[in-house]
Amino acid sequence: MLEVTDLVKVYPTGTRALNGVSLTVDEPKVIAIIGPSGAGKSTLIRCINRLVEPTSGKILLDGVDIASLGRRELRKFRRRLGMIFQEYNLVERLTVMENVLSGRLGYVSFWQAYRRRYPPDDIRMAFQLLDRVGLSGYENTRADALSGGQRQRVGIARALMQQPDLLLVDEPTASLDPKTSRQIMRLLVELAHERGTPALVNIHDVGLAQSFTDRVVGLADGRIVFDGPVDRVTAQVLTDIYGEEDWSTTIREVEDEEEEREEAGVSRSKPPAREKKDEVTLGVAEGE
Ligand SMILES: Nc1ncnc2c1ncn2[C@@H]1O[C@H](COP(=O)(O)OP(=O)(O)OP(=O)(O)O)[C@@H](O)[C@H]1O
Ligand SMILES: [Mg+2]
């Protein structure tokens, strides 16, 4: 799927944001990218969709070298990458439905989009996705009338409208309260698993990363200092990534959560479908 080799990014200012990053994603799993501020997490994601031009190195998606694509090829290629952002990047004055449909922009013609004439299949898919993210009934609500959690649900639905091969997610919960953050992470991970779409998720909250993702990549100073399954993230690993700190509470919380889940008979990777959906819908009904 995705193969990043020896990726280097030196900004014009001289900052070496990525210093030889190599990373392989060959399973449809959710990968948390953690690391201190300035470690290069956003730069890595932006190099993959070429919002930032890599200085050197290779980025292959299904064998295609992203770094070598011309402008036209790049436009076409970007359809395959679903982006989800911290600040949602919705068009505020458009409705929820229009925002979600804009995920198809890479597929429909300019004139179709201009006249807002989307194919019926696209509209059907948008309704289904809105239902799945818990926003059924909000189709005609303007984006600027939504809460942060609801906006991020729209952002997730819009990204999935593209039917992407890879999801790139930059701090999806950084503007949300803790409970909404968990709901959004849970939804994101469930959808990625359901659809078999791998996801790279930049995230500051180590607890969230440990609770919901499959694999953790730790960046520090533009280098990968850890790459492994989530249950191997120990206090020592966190010290390697972030520096010296007392990590005991962070680690213990996660272990407690795991126990809680096991007691409830819920496995981390695949919670039962019904329960998930009810929870998501409830979250919205409470008025996030
Ligand atoms: N456009 C830019 N021009 C110059 N330097 C940049 C640019 N963008 C990022 N940097 C620098 O590159 C380094 C890595 O930044 P990046 O935004 O990738 O870090 P990050 O891990 O995403 O941090 P955060 O957790 O704060 O979002 C930082 O030193 C940052 O100041
Ligand atoms: Mg960042």
Q: Closest ligand 1 atom, CA of 36?
A: 25
3-state DSSP call for residue 190?
A: helix
Residue 263 has pLDDT above 60, yes or no: no
Q: Closest ligand 1 atom, CA of 40?
A: 18
DSSP 95: B
Using alpha carbons, list the distances in angstroms from residue 182 to 75, 161, 203, 278.
Answer: 33, 22, 12, 15
DSSP 114: H
| Cβ neighbours, 10 Å, residue 206 | 21
Rounded Cα gap, residues 126 and 118, in angstroms: 10
Q: Is the CB of 217 under 6 A from ligand 1?
A: no
Tally the C-alpha atoms within 13 A of residue 45's C-alpha that lie toward its C-beta.
25
Average pLDDT over residues 180-186: 96
Rounded Cα gap, residues 52 and 149, in angstroms: 28
Rounded Cα gap, residues 191 and 49, in angstroms: 21
Q: Closest ligand 1 atom, CA of 39?
A: 21
Please give the pLDDT value at position 260.
55
Rounded Cα gap, residues 8 and 141, in angstroms: 43
For residue 185, give both structure tokens. Answer: 């992470």
Instruction: Give the confidence band of 68 by pLDDT, cuts at 50, 70, 90.
Output: confident
Sheet strand arrangement including 2-10: 16-25, 2-10, 56-61, 64-65
DSSP H or E stretch at residue 45: helix 41-48
DSSP H or E stretch at residue 276: helix 273-285
At 200-238, the pLDDT tens digits run: 999 999 999 999 999 999 999 999 999 999 999 999 999
Rounded Cα gap, residues 115 and 99, in angstroms: 14
Q: Whose CA is nearest to atom 6 of ligand 1?
A: 11
Considering only CA atoms, which of 212, 251, 253 is closest in space to residue 232? Answer: 251
Please give the pLDDT value at position 277.
36
Decide if 31 contacts 167 (C-beta within 8 A): no
Fold (topology level) of 28-38+82-216+223-285: Rossmann fold (3.40.50)
Q: Is the CB of 220 under 6 A from ligand 1?
A: no
3-state DSSP call for residue 32?
A: strand
In 197-287, beta strands by DSSP E = 199-202, 215-220, 223-229
Please give the pLDDT value at position 282.
32
Query: Is the sign of the CA dihedral 86, 89, 93, 96 positive or negative?
Result: negative
For residue 194, give both structure tokens. Answer: 């359901």
The closest ligand to the CA of 17 turns out to be 1
At 51-63, the pLDDT tens digits run: 999 999 999 999 9
Residue 107 has pLDDT above 80, yes or no: no
The region of weakest confidence among 108-112, 128-132, 220-224 is 108-112
Rounded Cα gap, residues 187 and 213, in angstroms: 12
Query: What is the value of pTM for the model shown?
Result: 0.86
Task: Please report, for the chain, the start and end positions of each structural domain, with discontinuous segments joined by +.
Answer: 28-38+82-216+223-285
